[in-house]
Structure 1
């Protein structure tokens, strides 16, 4: 709205009859600027109050009410503009060469291997073994003492594997990883920020997140729950229960599932975490009867679409990750996205 507007479209017509052109233009610009600033301030207040209400509804477990608030706001002037507003690429079969032209190597995204935690686990096992050998030599343990030490350890390991699917071991390893490896800690935060941003911009409302297994255990009280972002997904759940998933919902799910590994790829050149995300998407496509060719087409499109969205909104994702690392509420995280999204790219 710069420079090319007719004066009467901004100011009341009678003003142009009373003032000379120079004065009229000057005062009109001031008047318009004041109105714009007032409107922006009002929108900020409204958005702040709205997001506080969204947080309240989510805390009460009323996902439908929270989603309704966000959807209603999106359709109103001055509302939440970024929700479900991501600009996406056309859906078709993309070749690997086309992805490479966009600087995307799928092998570095779709086969994540957690080398950081793997190295930590190996070092812990080596340290434990060396400590055991040192203790054996220092205290001259015999076969009986060895049995007393190893039998309880073996029992605890078996119990964790059978009863908790390795949850306790994963919690311990994840907690150590967060405390001794800044790289691992940062990667988890960025990974979850990718999930959060892509979900919101595709029209799926996040309802909570955890950044460590310990935080997830404290919140959920279960060892089988790991760090992650959860969403208001009753629409998807209802479609799954009916045995029919729409193409639109499948597209959203595919992009959200791959958002974490895509974020890691953009930041580090490869993904370490997110193998369960890739496997979950693969399992869903198989359950829907997708052929390998059709599944490959869906995954390639989702990878390209997700990465291009993340590239366009890098600043919003960076600031969102910072907000999540500080433990901000879902509403506050949404506010960060809304304030830092590039409106020309939605």
Structure 2
């Protein structure tokens, strides 16, 4: 028999053993993801999820609101103005782009005066720059331009860097709580280029979405899958809205969701209903787990592995809040 102190010690030891076992499995998950074995990694997570003692308590365990048609007034009652959330404009990168254009213009004028360039020289230089811009737009979907702007943004604007980190932490956390395993993330376009070797790939969070892709390929996406995808897609802009009052990044996320709803034959009214539910559901989840998102963002800013980030979520989150 255990006395009160013995029982407490026994429970504490069980928690320590559970945490150690969880960490060991998550290290294996990182190895499988590193080798590209997404299904093996997902199976490890699901096996660990099924173990009451050492399991992943939070994976796919989020409590969600009922799905129905929510009006704009109901969203406003919850402190949500969709115009500030669903119409992101990146003012930081726009400002940097204007500064580059002004510097190029001033540099051109200085070169003209310094080297006594003729109008013909200026014409051919302008033609060359136009060719490079067109090549980037057509061949790399603007990847080179965005790489330059994004790199400058992270280098000279702490606000921009922090916004990107928080944005991706929102994607990661919501995906995990809804039962989708993140498989990796990048926070800068330069990091994405080094990792993927392509200018067409922007920074962001990637997921083990094998089942979602299988449904999309058949043209039949279940309601639960669509709900999950909708919330994950909007999690970045929702995080920015909560922290900064408006979203600046995430336009591509919104466009991707719009294209999916369009491909599924949604009318505008039905699409609006889906987006409103997803916005409200995601905002409430993020508010409930604000501390966990903040801790996760710190881990991601330090470049922690997926397994480490998952472990951080499990250690930080209050199971009673799920």
Query: TM-score under structure 1 normalisation?
Result: 0.91
Query: Are 1:272 and 2:248 an aligned pair?
Result: yes
1:150-209 Cα shifts (integer Å, max 9, x gaps): 333222112111211111111111111111111111100100000000000000000000
TM superposition shift of 1:55: 0.4
**Partner residue in 2 for 1:191:** 167
Q: Matched residue pairs, number?
A: 321
Q: The residue matched to 2:205 in structure 1 has which SS?
A: strand
Distance 1:100 1:175 in 2: 36
TM superposition shift of 1:243: 1.0
Distance 1:48 1:55 in 2: 10
Distance 2:267 2:121 in 1: 57
Task: Give 1:88's match in structure 2, choosing from 36, 46, 64.
Answer: 64
Q: The residue matched to 1:244 in structure 2 has which SS?
A: coil
**Partner residue in 1 for 2:5:** 30
**Partner residue in 2 for 1:120:** 96
TM superposition shift of 1:138: 2.3
Distance 1:158 1:252 in 2: 37
Alignment of 1:219-298 (within 5 A): 219-298=195-274
**Partner residue in 2 for 1:66:** 41
1:90-110 Cα shifts (integer Å, max 9, x gaps): 111111111111111111111
Task: Give 1:54's match in structure 2, choosing from 29, 33, 36.
Answer: 29
TM superposition shift of 1:74: 1.2
Distance 1:86 1:38 in 2: 27
**Partner residue in 2 for 1:150:** 126
Query: Are 1:303 and 2:279 an aligned pair?
Result: yes
TM superposition shift of 1:148: 4.4
Q: The residue matched to 1:149 in structure 2 has which SS?
A: helix
Distance 1:235 1:138 in 2: 62
Task: Give 2:18's match in structure 1, choosing from 39, 43, 48.
Answer: 43
Distance 2:25 2:229 in 1: 26
Distance 2:264 2:135 in 1: 35
Query: TM-score under structure 2 normalisation?
Result: 0.98
Distance 1:119 1:90 in 2: 41
Q: Which runs of 5+ in 1 are unaligned?
A: 1-11, 13-26
Query: Are 1:325 and 2:301 an aligned pair?
Result: yes
Distance 2:64 2:141 in 1: 38
Q: The residue matched to 2:86 in structure 1 has which SS?
A: coil
Alignment of 1:89-104 (within 5 A): 89-104=65-80
**Partner residue in 2 for 1:217:** 193
Distance 1:282 1:150 in 2: 37
1:229-252 Cα shifts (integer Å, max 9, x gaps): 000001000001111000010000
TM superposition shift of 1:147: 3.6
Further displaced range: 245-254 or 133-142:
133-142
Q: Which runs of 5+ in 2 are unaligned?
A: none
1:85-135 Cα shifts (integer Å, max 9, x gaps): 111111111111111111111111111111111111011101110111122
1:312-339 Cα shifts (integer Å, max 9, x gaps): 1111100111111111100001011111
Further displaced range: 165-174 or 143-152:
143-152
Q: The residue matched to 2:183 in structure 1 has which SS?
A: strand
Distance 1:236 1:92 in 2: 22
Distance 1:113 1:147 in 2: 33
1:7-60 Cα shifts (integer Å, max 9, x gaps): xxxxx4xxxxxxxxxxxxxx6210110111100110111011010010011111
